[in-house]
Every structure is written in structure tokens, then in C-alpha cells.
């Protein structure tokens, strides 16, 4: 199943945040969405998830306009995990993850065997099965992020959207999440992830969407888009490619002085 932003614009608070942006999330592809703070990454994800309305263009789910679909139907196919999360009630982790099944069985319907299997699989896949009886509002930030990802996977979506999923994680668990995103793509999901770490993009993503000031500045295979010139133009830093021991290139970054930035 494909999710597409076709020339979408988004206005919030009387200001245009996203301007004529186009992006296709394809099955089997891990697409990284990158750009400076405030460039429109989160806005693009929320529009793709149907959470924020577009003021121009269309969001399409398998060529069907998203605005014509019910919230429940969208939730069956598209999962969104925000960056900033709060859990105010003392649900157990298992109860919270089971909420991901609401789009399949309704909020007040009884849990089925299929629901339990989906919840157990999501807990295992996100490495939080050992937390299933813990109160979700007592988790660390990293644990909470993995539990919320498990809740999204319990819905068994075709498309997974994540906004800075590694922001509150230690290095080990951040790598686990990135590996999981890559595995989901290999399993046939369309995966869209907003990231800040360009070296993580190089290592894990198949496609990159570069956003600058609300506009898409480039979309394509990672080596084609993440060129030093583009990084310099959008992020204002010098990026020097360096080959790692495994043959994968990564970047070493340096600040530009003011003279360089003017040129």
C-alpha cells in the first residue's frame, strides 16, 4: 500500500508551514525525512497521517484521497508515532499496546485471540514484553517511546510514520529502533521517519526527502540527495564524506564561518 503527498500545502496559525510538498512512501522502502528544525518535517508526517488538514494538494492512500476515508479506516492502514508523548493514566503496558487494536475491533468490543496475538507480537518486536505489567506512566522516556511504537504495530498497519523516534533513546535502543524500521520496510511496510542524524540516514534509509523552509529540496536515493553541496545549502555546515571500516560512507561535519555562509 502506497501513501502519497501530492503537492500539499499546510497552513497553521495563519502561517504557511509546508508549501507544495510531494512525497511517495512506497512499500518495502524506509524513507527518511530530514531538514533543519522548523523546516516542516513533523508537519509533513502529520498531514500524511491525516491528522492535520491540507490547504492545497492531496494526500492519497493507494490513490484514494485521504479526506474521503474515515479516521478508523485510516488508522487500520497508517500508524503515526509522535515525538512528544505523555501518558497520564496508569494503564499497564499491555493495556496501552492493546489500544492499537481499536481500529479493528472498536473501542468497547471484547478482545479476540487475534488481538492478543497482535499485541504479543508487537511487544516482542519492540523489546518491551518484559514491561507488559508495568504502569505505562512510570516508564522512562526511551521505554515509553518503544511502547508507543509497539501500540502502533499492534494495529498491523501497512504504513508506519515516526517523528524523531530515537530522540529520547540511548545509543543501543536508538539503533534497535532504526534496525526495526529497516526490518519493517523489508517485510513490505512503507516506513516514513523524521530524523536529525544524517549518518543514521546513510546507514539505514533507502530513500531520503530533504526539506528546507517548508519546501521539498530533494527526494531520491540517499547517495543522490545527501551530497555535501545540498547539506551545506540546507543545514549550513560543511560535510566531508569518510569511508568506514565496513565500506559505508558517513559524514564529518564542520561549522561554516560567516564568510563561507555568505558564499
Answer yes or no: are the C-beta atoms of 237 and 256 closer than 8 Å: yes
Q: What pLDDT does residue 145 have?
A: 84
88 pLDDT higher than 80: no
Per DSSP, the three-state class of 37 is coil
Dihedral of the alpha carbons of 167, 168, 171, 172, in degrees to the nearest 10: -120
Average pLDDT score over the chain: 91
- Residue of 74, 47, 84, 85 whose CA lies nearest to 155: 74
**Structure-block grid coordinates of residue 250:** 558517513
The residues spanned by each domain of the chain are 3-226, 227-263
Q: What pLDDT does residue 114 have?
A: 92
130 pLDDT higher than 80: yes
Instruction: Give helix 141-154 / helix 171-186 axis angle, nearest 10°.
Output: 10
| Mean pLDDT, range 57-83, rounded to an integer | 94
Burial grade of 127 (CB within 10 A; 0-12, 13-18, 19 or more): middle
Q: What pLDDT does residue 18 have?
A: 97
- Residue of 144, 202, 147 whose CA lies nearest to 168: 144
* Per-residue pLDDT tens digits for 235-263: 999 999 998 777 778 899 999 875 455 44
119 pLDDT higher than 80: yes
* Per-residue pLDDT tens digits for 187-219: 999 999 999 999 999 999 999 999 999 999 999
pTM over 0.85: yes
Q: What pLDDT does residue 155 have?
A: 93
Which of 2-11, 43-52, 249-258 is predicted with the least confidence, judged by mean pLDDT? Answer: 249-258
* Per-residue pLDDT tens digits for 140-188: 877 888 899 999 999 999 999 999 998 877 888 888 889 999 999 999 9
Give me the CATH topology for the region 3-226: Rossmann fold (3.40.50)
45 pLDDT higher than 50: yes
Amino acid at each position: 500500500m502506497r501513501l502519497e503527498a501530492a503537492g500539499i500545502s499546510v497552513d497553521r496559525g495563519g502561517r504557511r508551514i509546508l508549501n507544495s510538498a510531494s512525497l511517495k512512501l512506497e512499500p518495502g522502502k524506509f524513507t527518511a525525512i530530514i531538514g533543519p528544525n522548523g523546516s516542516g518535517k513533523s508537519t509533513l508526517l502529520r498531514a500524511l497521517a491525516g491528522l492535520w488538514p491540507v490547504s492545497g494538494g492531496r494526500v492519497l492512500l493507494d490513490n484514494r484521497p485521504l479526506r474521503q476515508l474515515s479516521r478508523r479506516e485510516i488508522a487500520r492502514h497508517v500508524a503515526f508515532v509522535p515525538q512528544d508523548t505523555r501518558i497520564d493514566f496508569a494503564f499497564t503496558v499491555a493495556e496501552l499496546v492493546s489500544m492499537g487494536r481499536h481500529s479493528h475491533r472498536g473501542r468497547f468490543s471484547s478482545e479476540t485471540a487475534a488481538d492478543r496475538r497482535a499485541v504479543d507480537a508487537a511487544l516482542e518486536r519492540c523489546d518491551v514484553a518484559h514491561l507488559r505489567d508495568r504502569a505505562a506512566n512510570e516508564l522512562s522516556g526511551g521505554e515509553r517511546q518503544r511502547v508507543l511504537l509497539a501500540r502502533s504495530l499492534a494495529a498491523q498497519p501497512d504504513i508506519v510514520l515516526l517523528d524523531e523516534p530515537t530522540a529520547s533513546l540511548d545509543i543501543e535502543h536508538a539503533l534497535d529502533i532504526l534496525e526495526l524500521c529497516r526490518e519493517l520496510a523489508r517485510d513490505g511496510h512503507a516506513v516514513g521517519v523524521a530524523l536529525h542524524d544524517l549518518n543514521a540516514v546513510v546507514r539505514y534509509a533507502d530513500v531520503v526527502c530533504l526539506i528546507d523552509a517548508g519546501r521539498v529540496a530533494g527526494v531520491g536515493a540517499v547517495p543522490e540527495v545527501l551530497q555535501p553541496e545540498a547539506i551545506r545549502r540546507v543545514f549550513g555546515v560543511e560535510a566531508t564524506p569518510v569511508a568506514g571500516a565496513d565500506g559505508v560512507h558517513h559524514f564529518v561535519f564542520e561549522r561554516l564561518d560567516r564568510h563561507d555562509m555568505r558564499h
